[in-house]
Amino acid sequence: MSRLNLDDFSDLIERPDSGTRRDAEERRERLTVPPGALGRLDELGEWLSAAQGAVPVRPVERPRVVLFAGDHGVAELGVSGRPAGGAYALVRDVLDGASPVAVLARRTGVPVRVVDAGVDCDPELLPAEVVRHRVRRGSGRIDVEDALTAEEAEAAVRLGMAVADEEADSGTDLVVLGDLSVGGTTPAATLIAALCGTDASVVTGRGGAGIDDLAWMRKCAAVRDALRRARPVLGDQLELLAAVGGADLAATTGFLLQSAVRRMPVVLDGVVSAACALVAQRAAFRAPDWWLAGHVSGEPAQSKALDRMALNPLLDHGVTVGEGTGALLALPLVRAAAAFAADLPERKAPEETPPED
């Protein structure tokens, strides 16, 4: 198997169809509802038309939540509000329908897929369809060691690519993307700080589970030390993911890139998916045209990454729980935009007055 070069995605990814978008904009001008009256939903409908290559836009009928799961060794430092090695509990809650994203998905009829990329538990504890893609058990402590070997990083990216192909082939027409990780916001902040050229304190937040001031200082120190290890490998995205990413982050990056290749729109959730998106943008500059930012997660690193990619979040409700919940909350807006663009009638042309004899 030849070594994967993420830069090759730059030639594989095309932008959504600009001609279709112009047609969608012209159709919008002809609708009975005045232009601008629907606010950002007009823009969303036109974006969907371009992504689908269809005017009028088709409804979003087969969305799916995809969650990549993994544990991070850096959680051993007490940088997370959850115990190190606790991703298994997060996965179990989703599978048992006891997490916010599971409750919301059940109520809205959206299926949820969990992919174990690097959970630190015995594989027998999880269903085979969840654990079958696992790259390794947990990821390394990025402040002092690589998260993954080079081979593991490539395997994780290829895993994400394979999942994207499976979803596209099954007819999924939009993905709500999230993570189930413990310690994952620390490598995410590190990746964003490295790619944006900022210091640890600028990007370090308190995570979805919330941490106190002492834990926040430990997290800042971990990001600072990891940044020293990240900067020498900034020229190679795969090496960067191996050094300071993790199996779930590398898989998410591969998923985002291959989803763009397959022209499958993605709604990003929080800081972890934003960090992976930023890595993917570094490899393929057109890729962000296929993504929406679902919501503001409250993490400073997420805001930094979304600004760099020029992605404007759809919602700001103070939801910090992660796990794809905030992005799934944005799905009704996307569906509403598609419905308005497709179903609102066009203005009737004025009847011509017959000429006088």
According to DSSP, residue 77 is labeled G
Query: What span, in angstroms and rounded, lies between the C-alpha atoms of 146 and 228?
Result: 12
Amino acid present at 117: A
Contact 90, 137 (CB under 8 A): no
Nearest-10 crossing angle of helices 237-244, 247-261: 150
Backbone angles phi, psi at 70, to 5 degrees: -175, 155
- Start-to-end CA distance of the chain, whole Å, equals 82
Amino acid present at 48: L
Residues 6+ apart with CB under 8 A from 122: none
Query: What span, in angstroms and rounded, lies between the C-alpha atoms of 247 and 117?
Result: 5
Q: Could you say which of 154, 323, 346, 352 is catalytic?
A: 323
Contact 108, 61 (CB under 8 A): no
* 129 flagged as catalytic: no
Per residue in 226-261, is it b (16+ CB within 10 Å) or e — as a string?
bbebbeebeebbbbbbbbbbbbbbbbbbbbbbbbbb
Locate tokens 């929406």: which residue? Answer: 292
Q: Known catalytic residues? A: 323
